[in-house]
Amino acid sequence: MRAQSQIQRTLGEAAAIERVAAILSREQFDSRGAVGRRVCAEFDFRDHRGRPQLAGCLKALRSLEQSQERIVLPAAAGPRPGGEAAPLAAGVALAGTLPERYEQVQGLVIEAVSDRAGRAVWNTLIANEHRQGLTTFAGAQMRYLVGSAHGWLGALGFAAAALRLAARERWMGWSDAQRRQHLDLVVGLSRFLIRGGCANLASHVLGQVLRRLPQDFRQRYGYSPWLVETFCEAGQAGTSLRAANFVRIGTTAGRGRQDRAKLRAAGVKSIYMYELRRDWRRRLGVPWVDPAPRLEAGAGLDAAHWAQNEFGGAQLGDKRLTARLVRSAALLAEYPGRALSANVRSDAAAVDGYYRLIEQPEQTEVTAESILAAHRERSIQRLRGQRTVLCIQDGSDLNFATRPGCEGLEVIGRNQTRSKTLGLHLHLTLAVNEKGLPLGVLRCAFGTPAQGGKSRRWIDGYRDIGAVAQELTRKTRVIAVMDREGDFFELFDAQRQAGRVEILVRAQHDRKLEGQGDKLFAKLAGGPPDGQIEVEIAGLTERPKASRKPARAARVKRLAACELRYRRVRLPATRKGAEPVELAGVHVVESAAPEGEQPVQWYLLTSLPVGTAEAAAEIVRHYLQRWRVEDFFRVLKSGCRVEHLAFRSADRLQRAIAINSVIAWRIMLMTLLGREVPECEAGLMFSDHELGFLSDYGAKFGLGGPANLGAAVQLVAHLGGYRNRKHDPDPGHQIMWHGYSTLTSATLGHQVAMESVHRRALEGQT
């Protein structure tokens, strides 16, 4: 296997510079091309067909000329006659209307661009119709035109791969030395354009081109590439790429090839790879790497490592900012809801570093999305190990009315005097498993979208869940769960078009059903019950009326016996030209509520098949997990106290909220893991120092030691005020965040005391 020449690296060495300088001083050259050919011969810079690598050599020589006074090249010649083929002024028209499916396309043909006329057509299509327009290709390159009896249908262009991509290097498993030697075996699909809306044409064309690409490369360059890489912008599903068997392997850092100033020039994109040779790993001599790694729910979340694991992969444009994020998150999590300066382990450098991180200028890579990105990737890895994943969407207003000077806040409400209340609306997606164990925060979106208003939040959130589902195998069933705000036709229509993610919504509107003569609620509630189910109703304490919060009566915790009914329903279209949507409806109503209590009654709509009473009961159990997101917002607001953040702009608040969202998720997970898997090792969530204190604390008060995770969580709850009396429920999230804050301080004191005892013992021995 021939390695590609390392021209830039070779000519940058001191000995090579001396050799080039000597050639230029003793020999005469009438052009830069002549210098390049001489240097190629001197250093044996040749491609796979034995031809001089003139273009790469001249590029390296121009760099040397700029950095080395001794390297002086002949004056550059003017542009070659003819130059690049200019786009056609008249454009490229189609002959009539395209068929609806690719099978109906007549005379479909793929042509490699080999002459100036073909290049002019290719340039015209890309310049006029590709969203990124024309670009200068680097390295070995191939261009194709897609022709037919209907005219030119598209254009594709391949060029050199990206010099470095962290996600690609992890997936390939090669070393830096191997990458430098063999990068030419990876070719980039730089431009891909298919005109019109002909179904499946894009994936069909792409498949044809990929099958002929190795041979075309060999004929032109004397070798065949092994892999193809390409990119997909945020918000695009990459459907055609997946249909052509491309595999998504991760995301970019958000900078383009020409972005030398590390500005946010390109945006974060998904990276896709295609294997032209199945045996490329063996030929390259690299180990197999799992392209879709999995994580257990609690893996890597111990106190010593969790922040590095959940934030360490954040691409913030500077490794120092990422390190600052990791340290800040770890310190903030030790005392949830308190300022970082309240942590005795945070010195002045840590505090200053945190504020510099949060107070980055607006035009920066430090955004709420980039802060959350690494946690999102690990959350997807946790999702891969599940049979069913519930992605719960919900929104909550964060009140910052006490900071009227904060820039960028929106109006989230008005009081009785019509005065505006300023704040931020947070629309969030929390992923949980069937038992309600939180697997991660997938998305934090702020504000109201410019187009579509409030309903757009839910559609954007649903499509983002669809993007997550593309990272999972079909063995994992993904269900988007929403409350009554998600009950609108456009969302159901979006699910019908996408299909990969099922939907489960509590109905709000009593619609008249399409072609059935009934209204929704009467249709679902009518007839004898199809089954029975017991639903646990959580208790509530009485709450008086407060600012922007209505009064709430107390409610006793109970197990409600409910009747269950299910029906197929057709919802009428509310969008012109759309077809009605057919869904399953499930009705659950409490048979006999206690006196003075409102009976439980829900109308649920789902795209999942419901053909039995057990299937309907499963739908209800899935919907019951929706309250996990309510718990999450409570931990975020009351435990992490995000509404007390005092930054001066909405951007800064969003960054801090993103960090605290992951902290809130970990608090919830710690609480629930102690209930669901109490037999796990306590070291899953706690450090050795924390377990050392808990052991002594349990012994002192007769509570037993932290023998496993469940026992350790019980001890933390005891620190937070939990007494585990006979009729006490399991410790909740509020108990746990109070207990964990106490644990942090107590562990520090315990550690200092133990070190002091050890030091005195050593002094006594001497």
Residue 658: which pLDDT band, with cuts at 50, 70 and 90?
Answer: very high
Q: What integer is the mean pLDDT of 619-643?
A: 94
pTM value is: 0.73
pLDDT tens per residue across span 446-464? 987 766 677 889 999 999 9
For 602, phi then psi, to 5°, come to: -130, 145
SS3 506: strand
Residue 258: which pLDDT band, with cuts at 50, 70 and 90?
Answer: very low
Residue 293 — left, alpha, or beta (φ > 0 → left; ψ -120 to 50 → alpha)? beta
Residue 509: which pLDDT band, with cuts at 50, 70 and 90?
Answer: very high
Least confident of 208-212, 301-305, 306-310, 457-461: 301-305
pLDDT for residue 474 is more than 60: yes
pLDDT of res. 366: 92
Give CA torsion, residues 693, 697, 700, 703, to 10 deg: -130
How far is 11 from 4, CA to CA, in rounded Å? 14
CB 120 within 8 A of CB 152: no
* Helix (H) / strand (E) containing 460: helix 453-469
SS (H, E, C) 93-150: CCCCCCCCEHHHCCCCEEEECCCHHHHHHHHHHHHHHCCCCCCCCCCCCEEEEEECCC
Please give the domain boundaries of the chain with CATH numbers for all domains.
7-67 (no CATH), 108-284 (3.40.630.30), 503-625 (3.90.350.10), 677-763 (1.10.740.10)
pLDDT for residue 149 is more than 60: yes
pLDDT of res. 3: 63
pLDDT of res. 211: 95
How far is 213 from 228, CA to CA, in rounded Å? 10
CB 166 within 8 A of CB 268: no
Least confident of 181-190, 228-237, 535-544, 597-606: 535-544
Higher local confidence (pLDDT), 197 or 160: 160
Q: What integer is the mean pLDDT of 748-761?
A: 82
